[in-house]
Structure 1
Amino acid sequence: MTTPAIDPGAAGRPEPPLPGTQVHDRHPLALALFALTAVSGLIDAVSYLGLGHVFTANMTGNVVVIAFALAGAPGFSVTGSVTSLAAFLLGAGLAGRLVARSAAPRRDRWLRTALLLEVALHGAAAAVVFAWGVTGSVQYAVIALLAVAMGIRNGAVRGLGVPDLTTTVLTLTLTGLAADSRPAGGAAPRQRRRILAVATMLAGAAPGAVLVLHGQTAWALVAGAVLAGATVLLYRE
């Protein structure tokens, strides 16, 4: 029977915690995730209002939109929604493969790589819109670029396991805010984090909507790329 090799320095050395298990609201990782939540709001404002009522970050909404389109509801596109869903799954699968190969305590380092890819894809989408607008088949290319970016980011963030900061959906966050509140008999854990997650989503979606409604879809995408890029530059592990 072979005896496994033992690291002589490992005996008294505690295992580093998984990222996200003890991340306070002012931790650099939490701050980065708040910023990315704002980017998600902005990107979904662009995709829903400017790309044919399609979500590229919130796949729950996108699945429902596909059902609306299949039922014949006006203003919804099966092709656009399926393109978004497929591209998102592609991005998430790529992220999952790369995160699985990373050592668990160092998975937050993959977040930086995921964000760089997101910045590049948002920038590419902005360039396409500047050059050709969002008409015809170009619209589907823009949807695919944004959805791949958001899938990559979601896969990376999921590997971090930070409670209430998925960066793209708020259903469980809002549920926890109400179900764990003191009026409901709870201790209101992470109340500030949950409120900030909602606030940052709103803070991203509102200017994104304003830009799209004023015909500035490309600049809205530039804003998303800049905010994601600033997050990369400012994030410190």
Structure 2
Amino acid sequence: MAEESDTDPAPKARPPGRACGSGAAAAAVALTVATGAMDAISFLALGGVFTSVMTANLSLLGMSTASLDAALARDSAVAMAGYIVGALVSGRIVRGSRPALRARCALTVELLALGGLWAVWASADGHPAGGRQLGLLAVAALAMGGQSGLVRAVGPPGFSTTYLTGTLTGVLVDAVRSGTVRRLSIALLGGLVVGAAAGGLLVAHAARAAPALPTGLVGLVLLASLTSLARDAQGHLWPHSE
């Protein structure tokens, strides 16, 4: 370790995006923006629940019991069920050899789910209701669960593009302990906020096109993964260090 310090005086100070490949970092941020957009869409137009933050949905499920809100309980349960199925399917897809190829397959499944959601959403003129709304909520949660399972399987321990409470905690603790912050962590947190803001604006002012944002971003990441743009020097699709 001492020899490493002599050759690289401050290895932890290197920008994470550059250390792991700027393309891989950009792909992670793009998926995080898609997550924020999808959460905003689901919260504002698909029942007031989230498609990626299952801890929040568990809390909503608990509150629905206290308030006897059957609709909230139903929507929370549907979102969690969709997320669980997506994570299981994605985890199964990426298990085995040739992880890069398997990761692309998992991304393709997510893209197909979001594309189907967009088509049904548009057919409802951006205002789904009843069974259609529940179905779209399940599909959206499935897509986000799939993304979570994919990144969990092929990324570094603790890395995520969907649930970022740990990332926020890491930024705060690192700032206090070492006075430094990791650029990628900040970019992911900012991407989530930007995505949520954009998704909310689309629901409010261009509802019919709202799912185009997360669908398009996932599509761009998949397209980039077919080239070297979204891979680091070792061929990984995701950052392997924060």
Tell me the TM-score normalised to structure 1 length. Answer: 0.81
SS at match of 2:19: coil
Identify the residue that residue 92 of structure 2 maps to in structure 1: 97
Compute the displacement of 1:74 (Å).
Answer: 6.3
User: Is 1:114 the counterpart of 2:106 in the alignment?
Assistant: yes
Gaps of 5+ in 2: 1-16, 232-242
Residues 1-237 of structure 1: matches in 2 within 5 Å? 24=19, 26-72=21-67, 77-100=72-95, 102-103=96-97, 106-132=98-124, 133-162=127-156, 165-181=159-175, 184-186=176-178, 188=180, 191-214=182-205, 216-235=206-225, 236=228, 237=231
Q: 1:81 to 1:157 in 2, by over 3 A?
A: same
Return the index of the structure with the highest Cα Rg. 1
Compute the displacement of 1:24 (Å).
Answer: 2.8
SS at match of 2:94: helix
SS at match of 1:24: helix
CA distance in 2, matches of 1:126, 1:194: 29
Question: Which sits farther off after the overlay, 76-85 or 162-171?
Answer: 162-171
Q: CA RMSD in A?
A: 2.3
Compute the displacement of 1:33 (Å).
Answer: 1.1
* AA in 1 matched with 2:128: V
Compute the displacement of 1:99 (Å).
Answer: 2.1
Compute the displacement of 1:185 (Å).
Answer: 2.6
Compute the displacement of 1:208 (Å).
Answer: 0.3
Q: How many residues align?
A: 210
Gaps of 5+ in 1: 1-21
Relative to total residues, which structure has the larger helix share, 1 or 2? 2
Compute the displacement of 1:154 (Å).
Answer: 1.0
Identify the residue that residue 4 of structure 2 maps to in structure 1: none
Compute the displacement of 1:76 (Å).
Answer: 6.1
CA distance in 1, matches of 2:47, 2:140: 14
Q: Is the contact made by 2:93 and 2:105 (CA closer than 8 Å) also made in structure 1?
A: no
Percent identical among aligned pairs is: 33
Compute the displacement of 1:163 (Å).
Answer: 5.6
Q: What's the CA shift string for 1:31-65, capped at 9, x where partnerless?
A: 21111000000000000111111111121221112
